Structure 1
Amino acid sequence: MLERICIGVDGSDCARRATAVGVAIAEAADAHVDLVYVRKETDETAEQDANAVLEDALESCEDASVQVDGHSLTGKPATRLVSFADEHDADLLVLGRIGRTGLGKRLLGSVVHSAFRQSDRPILTVPEGDGQVEISDLLVPTDGSEAAERAAPMAGTIATDHDATVHALYALDLATAVGPFSAGGLTGPEIERLEADRKAHVDRLADRLRSDDAERSIQTVVVRNSPHRAIRDYVDEAGVDLVVMSSRGQTSALGQVLGSVTDRVLRTVDVPVLVVTDDR
């Protein structure tokens, strides 16, 4: 259950979009919202700038059906945002991502990077965008590990609040499954066995997602691709509105390191990504 959501604001387009998405999630959950601006400087000009940003952010939330408060803090942005979330026991920290590079990859700001390093709370990163904020389809990828499946409770909570369909996905990377020392590749029956094994993993995730709501709409899928490409393509093809995933998973000859996958997903998908650490 989401009861308190902390949203970092700085006046940027990404932060405005993050505010819109964060407030939409809060409204569906009937959660309290804290808009937090952190300034490095303590002079009067910096304070005036902070007040202007907060006023603009609060004005954008005037029609919200939940309580929204503004806070101006001083210090290192990521550190103060994380400490504020801890002090107020926030269930979710929402931050904006910044735009694409010339190579088509998203840049992750230093605040986002630092927040991930410092916080063990779920963090939602939101890219630039416009249009109506709606969450009707969620994607939960898994590598079959318990760590990866710890994203299930958060995904289930948001799915319930928004009456959304949950898509459980396993990416079968055949190149990784073959291994570096196999010259002959995999036979058809071997691939079928691998797919059946991965299907068992997504079915287990689906069972976990249904544990608190037997009627929850869930779709399961196994795709042949590298994990981050499979997630990126599925987001586009299935019209996914939100990805919910763990910060890391298992490492094995036939598995993936979900942590590195998470980083790549954050840099390539055009929808919000909610990352749950495997410590919570």
Structure 2
Amino acid sequence: MFDTILVPIDDSPGSERAFEAAVTLAKQYGSAVHVLSVVDEHGPRTDEWDRDGDSPAAAFVDEHADAVSADGIDVTPAVREGVVHEEILDYADESGVDLVVMGTHGRTGVRRYLLGSVTEKVVRLSDVPVLSVKADAEAGEVSFDDILLPTDGSSGAEAAIEPTAALASTTDATVHVLSAVDTRSLGIDVGSSVIIDELESVADDAVATASDRLYEDGVDAVKTAVAHGIPYQVILQAIDDNDVDLVVIGTHGRTGIDRYLLGSVTEKIVRTAPVPVLTVRSPDAGDEA
């Protein structure tokens, strides 16, 4: 599933945690790893920068690449200059990567470091899955024993099923399939009760479809739930209740579609979830920025 992994790095804690996660996944899947540093063309410039020479950026990338190579992993170091998120996306496309692993500052709100300010852009625009790892994640190798798969039955949600199955079948993880029924805009009347029943039916169908697909793809342990509430809060609560190690969630990407709940809450989950989040872009998303 993840034959080639791209991990953009800077010297932030989130970047280091992302690097560790990328190495762990590479060991599990026998993946090749590309370690990339992007020098922001709009950032401060010094005479030390030399794209073809022994620049600080190149030395930093080589140090990390050597660590990956020492583990017997095929590794490619790279340094680029430009608009950071655009260079990451272009590199991913040119190199045919299957997964991008990036650090994010999450709840800390720290904006000092480069990658913390561009991860959400990459999440929204990437054609391949993006694993976002928090700066305050525990150092060391990561493990995914309990995976949360939120679903609303949309194409974005369905796109997240296959990567979830690939991860769970490799790690023997339990997958928790969750659908949230958002009733905030409904009043208390007979009509609302009918609409709630319909929303619950849609949620039940979404959960059943996802769980059936997971079983078909070789996942042995699947738990399902339908909960009422604000979707992103329901997801955060499920993370806490089930000791979840990873959230896999769909995104509509460039289209900006808000029809389905996942299109409107994925970025909130990336910013606020206390665990890594794997975002998967819907295959039918458009190309509008």
TM-score of the pair, normalised by structure 1: 0.85
Structure 2 regions of 5+ residues with no counterpart?
A: 110-114, 285-289
In structure 1, distance between residues paired with 2:278 and 2:223:
19
2:138 corresponds to: 130
1:208-247 equivalences under 5 Å are 208-213=213-218, 215-247=219-251
Q: Which of 85, 93, 99 in structure 2 is aligned with 1:92?
A: 99
1:18 corresponds to: 18
1:105 corresponds to: none
1:176-195 equivalences under 5 Å are 176=185, 178=186, 182-184=187-189, 194-195=199-200
RMSD (Å), alpha carbons: 2.8
Q: Which of 163, 169, 178 in structure 2 is aligned with 1:160?
A: 169
Deviations 1:142-188 (A, max 9, x none): 11223311110111111122221111100112324x2xxx3437888
Identity of aligned residues (%): 33
**Contact 1:242-1:273 within 8 A present in 2 as well:** yes
Given the superposition, is the C-alpha separation of residues 74 and 239 from structure 1 closer, same or farther in structure 2, using an over 3 Å criterion?
same
Deviation at 1:63, TM superposition (A): 4.9
**Contact 1:250-1:258 within 8 A present in 2 as well:** no
Deviation at 1:139, TM superposition (A): 0.9
- Counterpart residue identity of residue 46, structure 1: W
Aligned residues: 268
Deviation at 1:62, TM superposition (A): 5.4
Q: Which of 78, 85, 88 in structure 1 is aligned with 2:85?
A: 78
Deviation at 1:218, TM superposition (A): 0.9
Given the superposition, is the C-alpha separation of residues 110 and 8 from structure 1 closer, same or farther in structure 2, using an over 3 Å criterion?
same
**Contact 1:147-1:250 within 8 A present in 2 as well:** no
Residue 207, structure 1, aligned to residue 212, structure 2: yes
2:178 corresponds to: 169
1:269 corresponds to: 273
Residue 146, structure 1, aligned to residue 124, structure 2: no
Residue 36, structure 1, aligned to residue 45, structure 2: no
In structure 1, distance between residues paired with 2:194 and 2:120:
43
Deviations 1:47-92 (A, max 9, x none): 4220332144235435534222321122222111111111110001
Given the superposition, is the C-alpha separation of residues 97 and 247 from structure 1 closer, same or farther in structure 2, using an over 3 Å criterion?
same
